[in-house]
Amino acid sequence: MGGDIRSGRVSPAEIRQNFSDLHAPLTELQAVQESARCLFCHDAPCTGACPTGIDIPGFIRKIASGNLRGAAITILNENIMGGTCASVCPVEELCEQVCVRNTAEDKPVVIGRLQRYATDDLFAAGVQPFRRAPDSGKTVAVVGAGPAGLSCAHRLSLLGHHVTVLESRPKPGGLNEYGLAAYKMLQQRAAREVEFILAVGGITVATETSLGTDVSLSELRQKYDAVFIGLCHNTVNALGLENENAEGVQNAVDFIEHIRQQDLSSLPVGRNVVVIGGGNTAIDIAVQAKKLGAETVTMVYRRGLAQMGATCYEQTVAQTNGVLIRTHAQPLRIHTKAGTLSAVEFEYTELDENDRPSGTGEVFTLPTDQLFKAIGQSLDATPLAGGEMLQRVAGRIRVDQQQRTSLPDVWAGGDCTAGKDLTVVAVQDGKIAAHSIDEYLNHG
């Protein structure tokens, strides 16, 4: 690659250290001590704040009494991807935020780490606590093997239906396999969770099979009794600037996938890296670029810290890993030398009463040899074309509270529908859809 982008900026030993777990798993003593801090509230605000409705006091009480298997089953009954969510959920804005111990004098119970402690124990034991209902003879196609699709497939299988999951990539897992920061979710944990989900039986996964290319929605509706669509975002938003395709300019999501799928020591990273964006993806790529050996990593966001999509916790992770966050600035020009990225020019912004940024005319330039775009993704609905079209709202598939679409035999959930783009929300979408599909298959 051009510029000063190369691999091997840090040693293999440093790579192993840098990409180890962000939080070490709790020990048995730590888990017992932490579970004892739970007040087991009757109204359980933590459960109310969990999108999947996990009985949080219930599973923590089981940990306190030494019933780890029971704790894990309590979690997985509501959230089959509870292992992943234990590591990637923004618990600081959900369950732990509303913990009654979360006061100026105290700190919340570490619910996420306790959840991981319980689910890790079950997975390590190789126990499969779920059993399918009697065979219904009904078949369902699930498009997408990400959190929404796998959640839906697992629940449908438990209800006795046969499920075929169509996945465009070589491996199932979706975001968990390809899109999470490697220090948040280790590769082997993501694969282990998928294996656990599929081990219940009744689920067939067809990889490298794309909707709109290998099969159409109309064909699926003809072949199966019902269809669930769990497509993830499939288009990266563009900056709309000249030289955006210059050597050294990359999409953050593509590089994160490389980090998760390739030998980390072989990944080329710049000496001076710039990331444009303010969400979790921007944080993930910035932190990982630093861990790969970049000397300087600067995140630039057009609004202020309070308006960033990334939580305060994620911002702290970035800053404590040496990432500089610059706010109130938007990209103006991408500069190149001989076709290779050399610098990015930014314009300072100010916000109006509606938090909309506008340029002030004052500019600054950051020399850089690697620029990552992390300004969001969107849904390209082209794969849904053909036959009757699904109704959409703001570019996403319109669904009701049961995840039903405008077509009577099609449901949808996850990133392709409106709502927060969180793994835990996608899991809940899939679960809700599965029960709605089951009602449809049994009663029409």
Render 281-309 in DSSP notation, one character per residue. Answer: HHHHHHHHHHHTT-SEEEEE-SS-GGG-S
Q: Tens-digit pLDDT profile for the chain (444 aa)?
A: 457 899 999 999 999 999 988 888 999 999 999 999 999 999 999 999 999 999 999 999 999 999 999 999 999 999 999 999 999 999 999 999 999 999 999 999 999 999 999 999 999 999 999 999 999 999 999 999 999 999 999 999 999 999 999 999 999 999 888 888 888 877 688 899 999 999 999 999 999 999 999 999 999 999 999 999 999 887 889 999 999 999 999 999 999 999 999 999 899 999 999 999 999 999 999 999 999 999 999 999 999 999 999 999 999 999 999 999 999 999 999 999 999 999 999 999 999 988 899 999 999 999 999 999 999 888 877 788 766 789 999 889 999 999 999 999 999 999 999 888 899 999 999 999 999 999 999 987
CA 391 to chain CA centroid, nearest Å: 25
242 and 313 fall within a common domain:
yes
Tell me: do 241 and 358 sit in the same domain.
Answer: yes
To the question of pTM greater than 0.85 for the whole model, the response is yes
Q: Which pLDDT value is given to residue 223?
A: 98
Is position 1 within any domain?
A: no
Quick one: 221 and 278 in the same domain? no
Could you tell me if 64 and 35 are in contact, meaning their C-beta atoms sit under 8 angstroms apart?
yes
Alpha carbon distance 211, 215 (integer Å)? 5
Q: Specify the residue for token string 């979710």.
A: 185
pLDDT of residue 278: 96
Does 7 reside within a domain?
A: no
Contact present, 97 and 84 (Cβ < 8 Å):
no
Query: Is 6 within the bounds of a domain?
Result: no
Whether residues 309 and 351 share a domain: the answer is yes
Number of domains the chain contains: 3
Helix axes 252-261, 280-291, angle to 10 degrees: 50
161 shares its domain with 107: no
15 occurs within a structural domain:
no
CA–CA separation, 113 vs 60, rounded Å? Answer: 11
Question: Do 266 and 243 have their domain in common?
Answer: yes
Assess whether 359 and 336 both reside in one domain: yes
Residue 274's CATH number:
3.50.50.60
Residue 343 lies in a domain: yes
Query: What is residue 394's predicted lDDT score, i.e. its pLDDT?
Result: 86
Which of 266, 316, 257, 327 minimizes the C-alpha distance to 285?
257
Q: Which domain holds residue 326?
A: 236-375
Domain CATH for 109: 1.10.1060.10
Q: In what order do the strands lie in the sheet with 249-251?
A: 249-251, 370-373, 272-276, 296-300, 323-326
Statement to judge: residues 355 and 366 lie in one domain: yes
Pairing of strands 323-326, 272-276: unpaired
Residue 5 falls within a domain, yes or no?
no
Beta bridge partners of 235: 378
Please tell me whether residues 80 and 203 are part of one structural domain. no
Shared-domain flag, residues 334 and 408:
no
Q: Looking at the structure, do residues 383 and 361 belong to the same domain, yes or no? A: no
Domain assignment present for residue 3? The answer is no
Q: Report the DSSP pairing between strands 329-337 and 203-206.
A: unpaired
Residues 261, 327 within the same domain: yes
CA distances from 262 to 95, 286, 405 (A): 34, 18, 37
Q: 77-105: per-residue pLDDT in tens?
A: 999 999 999 999 999 999 999 999 999 99
